[in-house]
């Protein structure tokens, strides 16, 4: 197994303790070099939070020490992926995410990022080491750290298993500011995003669409208006 890069070691050094106690089952991860790299990383730190919970790398196993879901459950089709109607993420293993639920995943040959509001994948890195380097080089933007810090200064610690979702989605003009953010359970958040992405995919260019996500205690709901 190749040696860990200095940047990946630095990222792990700034991260929380392991989020699961299990030893890592390589067979539960995708085949190929990127699966090997993910297994190596999880072997060093089986899941973690970093940058004041803005970045989450999901753990693998059953003995979780967090309310955040593990990799296997998170990537099950019926957890949230099926809400993205007309899009298939079956060949992507999402292993990490930013403050807002923006996903990082591995395919057979690349690490990709998912903009959850539109359901689009983009190439992000060629290896876990490169992923760590990019995160460290621009963590304010790529993890949402400044907003995580400010939101928690005002509202207290962000509970594990939740993400901050924009009340007015960023894609349709929502501001990157604390007043536009609400804490939502992680699965609920991705299902809301899936509904938004599906709606936007069916709206003709030039149409005016507004959404508003409200916290209702038991969960949050997306309300859509169109004109």
- 142: CB partners within 8 A, 6+ apart: 98, 134, 135
Q: Is there a single domain that holds both residue 88 and residue 149?
A: no
Residue 201 confidence (pLDDT): 80
Q: What is the domain-level CATH number for residue 81?
A: 3.40.1580
Residue 90 domain boundaries: 6-137
pLDDT tens profile 50-81: 999 999 999 999 889 889 999 999 999 999 99
pLDDT tens profile 125-148: 999 999 999 999 999 999 999 999
In a domain? residue 181: yes
What are the start-end ranges of the H helices in the chain? 6-13, 33-44, 71-74, 128-137, 139-143, 145-155, 186-201
Q: Count the alpha carbons within 13 Å of 162 in the hemisphere toward its beta carbon.
A: 18
Mean per-residue pLDDT of the chain: 90
Residue 150 confidence (pLDDT): 98
Q: Is there a single domain that holds both residue 129 and residue 148?
A: no
Give the pLDDT mean for 95-110.
97
Q: Is there a single domain that holds both residue 81 and residue 191?
A: no
Q: Identify the band that residue 224 occupies on the pLDDT scale cut at 50, 70 and 90.
A: very low
Q: Is there a single domain that holds both residue 70 and residue 171?
A: no
Q: What percent of the chain has pLDDT over 70?
A: 88
Q: Is there a single domain that holds both residue 43 and residue 83?
A: yes
Domain boundary (137, 161, 179) is at 137
Q: Is there a single domain that holds both residue 50 and residue 71?
A: yes
Domain boundary (118, 137, 156) is at 137
When divided into structural domains, the chain yields a total of 2
Residue 115 confidence (pLDDT): 97
Q: Identify the band that residue 223 occupies on the pLDDT scale cut at 50, 70 and 90.
A: very low
Is pLDDT of 20 > 80?
A: yes
**Contact call for residues 180 and 100 (beta carbons, < 8 A):** no
Beta strands 220-226 and 209-215 are: antiparallel
Q: Is there a single domain that holds both residue 35 and residue 100?
A: yes
Q: Is there a single domain that holds both residue 127 and residue 150?
A: no
Q: Is there a single domain that holds both residue 26 and residue 103?
A: yes
Q: Is there a single domain that holds both residue 164 and residue 191?
A: yes
pLDDT tens profile 166-216: 999 999 899 999 999 999 999 999 999 999 999 888 665 655 555 556 554
Domain boundary (137, 170, 195) is at 137
Rounded to whole angstroms, how far apart are CA atoms 43 and 154? 35
Q: Is there a single domain that holds both residue 73 and residue 160?
A: no
């Amino acid at each position: 197994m190749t040696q860990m890069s200095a940047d990946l070691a630095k990222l792990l050094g700034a991260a929380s303790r392991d989020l699961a106690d299990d030893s890592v089952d390589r067979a539960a991860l995708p085949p190929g070099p990127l699966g090997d790299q993910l297994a190596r990383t999880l072997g060093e730190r089986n899941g973690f939070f970093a940058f004041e919970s803005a970045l989450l790398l999901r753990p693998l196993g059953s003995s979780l020490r967090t309310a955040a879901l593990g990799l296997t459950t998170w990537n099950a089709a019926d957890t949230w992926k099926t809400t993205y109607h007309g899009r298939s993420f079956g060949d992507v293993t999402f292993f990490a995410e930013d403050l807002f639920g923006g996903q990082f995943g591995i395919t057979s040959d690349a690490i990709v990022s998912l903009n959850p509001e539109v359901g689009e994948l983009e190439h992000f890195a060629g290896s876990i080491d490169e992923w760590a380097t990019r995160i460290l080089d621009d963590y304010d933007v790529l993890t949402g750290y400044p907003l995580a810090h400010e939101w928690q200064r005002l509202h207290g610690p962000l509970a594990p298993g939740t993400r901050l979702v924009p009340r007015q989605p960023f894609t349709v003009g929502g501001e990157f500011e604390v007043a536009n953010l609400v804490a939502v359970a992680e699965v609920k958040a991705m299902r809301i995003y899936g509904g938004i992405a599906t709606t936007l995919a069916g709206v003709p260019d030039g149409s005016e669409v507004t959404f508003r996500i409200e916290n209702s205690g038991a969960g949050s709901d997306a309300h859509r208006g169109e004109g």
